Amino acid sequence: MPHTPELILTLACGLSVALVLGYFTHRLGLSPIVGYILAGVAVGPHTPGFEADKHLADQLAEIGVILLMFGVGLHFHLEDLLAVRRVAVPGALVQIVAAVALGAGAATAFGWAWPAAAVFGLSVSVASTVVLTRVLGDRNEMHTPLGHTAMGWLIVQDLYAVFLLVLLPPLLGAGAGGVGAGRLAGLVGVAALKIVGLAVIVLVVGGRAVPWLLRHVAAARSRELFTLTVLVVALGIAVGSSLAFGVSMALGAFLAGMAVGRSDFSLRAATDALAMRDAFTVLFFISVGMLFDPYFIWRSPGLVLATLAVVMIGTPLVTCATVLWLGRPVRSAVGMGLALAQMGEFSFILIALGKTLGAVPDSAVQAVVAAAIISTSLNPLLYRLVGPIDRWVARRPRLARRLARTRLERAQVAAAEASALDDPRYRAVVVGYGPVGRTLVRLLRENGIEPTIIEMNVDTVRRLRAEGLAAVYGDATHPETLRAAGLPRAGTLFLAASGLTGAEEVVRAGRELNPAVRVVARSAYLRERASLRAVGADEVFAGEGEVALALAESVLRTLGATAEQIDRERERVRTELLGDAPPPAC
């Protein structure tokens, strides 16, 4: 019998089933995460048919966790948290404490010991960044005050989860051994010192060495080398942190992401080098699904319902009440509450760590996975209730006055929403800063339009920023680069780079991010105009055509033609050569 390649079988079958189920759940309006977890159930040991290698899946999932945490660190910006600190920080802390208490109380009611109850409560207290981003994005609320507050809220949750990954091993290990409070405090203190020491080394030393390394690799202009370098940085710091400091690889990956995120290469790392992160993250969800026994829901419906009650009733009510108490309007409070009524990545990581440390029973893992599948499935549907609930409250003035602190605060919030949706800094996005791009940017600024420039030359980006211009280093074919440049709020997208590779993809991505944006593109040849128009470009200026127009105008001027004759012939040539209809007469 030939040797069976278990690794290839696990990858091929697991990802294939995840593709099918993820596609169908997405078409149903649910998060693809539900499909990925169900794929793990399908190829797991608790269902008939093909059974993937759980040991290999766990190892591949560990890579997914490392890349996931690297991405979290990459996108962590202290400025984002400080901007909404008055709501996000106290609100998230109150919500976390309340959710932990509710979860631990539910676990205690089922007779679990305090370590199991504590880990269970910690696991159900964090929401999924992937799900929340998807829900807010579908409702076009990512760039509103609600979206900004939600992302700041998740930053607090992410930091909280990262520290738990470091503190739980000594905490549970000491508790399991019956060590006294003094010894326990000492172990936690040592763990905290390890975190601080590792953070100093990675962020201070790595904050200088990593950008230097990426700058030299980027100068080689090889995408493969840049991708490889970022992966080596992520995996190398993660593994080195575990071996040298005895902390989780997840923390090392998070700090590595922060080191890269503080450099000029953060956006390119997120778009170019982390393409495979999504595949390994899918494997992580598959490995979680492999833990789940579908028959557990029938065997322990009370535990599943209790978990769902904490996640989908307790957490939303506490969150909504906290946001109202902090002075935000009803819509923001209800939106925050319903957006957080789900669980995700860190819930699985924390409960899996508790299982590895022997602190929680298998039923805790089953309950968390079951509740996560159900809450993640229902969350997009629940979020649609934000508008109806807000209108229901508005029709009851007495209730509205009780929920809102002052009319002035409502006016301030409304003004903040208006300014966030009409930010003059993002009225235009210019791709490329060659001779054409420089001229275009100068003309835009002279006419009161502040452009944001997307450029692949990091030295040019640094010079532009030093001159006070908004510039983004990255590949414009990636939607994340366009989003970072503010395209969702821009009025016009200019493709000014010469010989731009993937111009059609830039136009297509721009249209998806902002259907109302006006796209003006530059092409080298006339034959490229049709394809750019087909994907959504409003105007395309081809180099061949514009040169022909300039030559024709020069000849007519030499022959003594009048200005009216030149204009008429120019429009005729443009119509014949470029296929453009003449502008309507005034």
Q: Over the stretch 218-270, which tens digit does the pLDDT of each residue have?
A: 888 788 888 888 888 888 988 888 888 777 787 788 888 888 887 788 778 87
How many other CB atoms sit within 10 Å of the CB of residue 393? 19
Cα(274)–Cα(436) distance, integer angstroms:
32
Q: How confident is the model at residue 19 (pLDDT cuts 50, 70, 90)?
A: very high
pLDDT at 21: 93
Cα(537)–Cα(522) distance, integer angstroms:
10
How many other CB atoms sit within 10 Å of the CB of residue 236? 12
Strands 539-542 and 451-455: unpaired
CATH topology of domain 424-537: Rossmann fold (3.40.50)
pLDDT > 90: percent of the chain: 10
Q: Tell me which CATH code domain 6-383 carries.
A: 1.20.1530.20
Q: Which of 490, 496, 551, 13 is nearest to 290 (CA)?
A: 13
Helix (H, G, I), strand (E, B) or coil at 470: strand
Residue 405 has pLDDT above 70, yes or no: no
- Name the residue with tokens 């690889």: 249
How many other CB atoms sit within 10 Å of the CB of residue 81? 19
Q: Which of 485, 492, 494, 534 is nearest to 516 (CA)?
A: 492
pLDDT at 105: 92
523, 543 contact by CB (below 8 A): yes
More confident residue, 382 or 176: 382
pLDDT at 138: 67
For 284, the token pair is: 């992580």
DSSP 126-194: ---HHHHHHHHHHTT-TTSHHHHHHHHHHHHHHHHHHHHHHHHHHHHHHHHTT--HHHHHHHHHHHHHH
What is the H or E stretch that residue 547 is in? Answer: helix 543-558
Cα dihedral sign, 110-158-65-505? positive
The residues with which 213 forms a beta bridge, in sequence order, are none
More confident residue, 114 or 158: 114
Per residue in 406-416, is it b (16+ CB within 10 Å) or e — as a string?
A: eeeebeebeee
245, 197 contact by CB (below 8 A): yes
What is the chain's mean pLDDT, rounded?
A: 79
Q: How confident is the model at residue 121 (pLDDT cuts 50, 70, 90)?
A: very high
pLDDT at 102: 94
How many other CB atoms sit within 10 Å of the CB of residue 558? 8
Contacts of 176 (CB under 8 A, 6+ apart): 115, 357, 358, 359
Cα(568)–Cα(34) distance, integer angstroms:
61
Q: How confident is the model at residue 143 (pLDDT cuts 50, 70, 90)?
A: low
What residue ranges do the domains of the chain occupy?
6-383, 424-537
More confident residue, 582 or 20: 20
How many other CB atoms sit within 10 Å of the CB of residue 528? 18
Cα(543)–Cα(495) distance, integer angstroms:
13
- Which phi-psi region, left, alpha or beta, contains residue 541 (left: φ > 0; alpha: ψ -120 to 50)? beta
The residues with which 428 forms a beta bridge, in sequence order, are 451, 492
More confident residue, 245 or 310: 310
Q: Give the predicted TM-score (pTM) of the model.
A: 0.67
pLDDT at 2: 47
Q: What is the DSSP letter of 582?
A: P
Is there a common fold for 6-383 and 424-537?
A: no
Lowest mean pLDDT among 340-344, 425-429, 493-497, 504-508: 425-429
More confident residue, 311 or 499: 311
Residue 580 has pLDDT above 80, yes or no: no
Cα 452 off chain centre by: 21
Task: State the greatest distance between any 2 C-alpha atoms of the chain, in Å, as a whole number.
Answer: 101
Residue 287 has pLDDT above 90, yes or no: no
pLDDT at 406: 42
pLDDT > 70: percent of the chain: 86
Q: How confident is the model at residue 73 (pLDDT cuts 50, 70, 90)?
A: confident
Cα dihedral sign, 139-145-147-153? negative
Residue 410 has pLDDT above 70, yes or no: no
pLDDT at 576: 62
Averaged over 289-310, what is the pLDDT?
A: 89
Cα(11)–Cα(287) distance, integer angstroms:
11
Question: Which segments within 372-479 are labelled E, that is strand?
Answer: 428-431, 451-455, 470-473
Cα(152)–Cα(95) distance, integer angstroms:
14
Q: Over the stretch 98-111, which tens digit does the pLDDT of each residue have?
A: 999 999 999 999 88
Helix (H, G, I), strand (E, B) or coil at 465: helix
pLDDT at 419: 45
Residue 530 has pLDDT above 90, yes or no: no
Lowest mean pLDDT among 168-182, 203-217, 341-355, 496-510: 168-182
Cα(215)–Cα(268) distance, integer angstroms:
12
One-letter identity of residue 411: A
One-letter identity of residue 394: A
| Strand order through the sheet with 470-473 | 470-473, 451-455, 428-431, 492-495, 518-523, 539-542
Averaged over 55-70, what is the pLDDT?
A: 79
Cα dihedral sign, 541-543-549-554? positive
pLDDT at 104: 92
Q: Over the stretch 423-444, which tens digit does the pLDDT of each residue have?
A: 444 578 999 888 888 888 888 8
Contacts of 95 (CB under 8 A, 6+ apart): 125, 153, 315, 318, 319, 322, 340
pLDDT at 210: 87
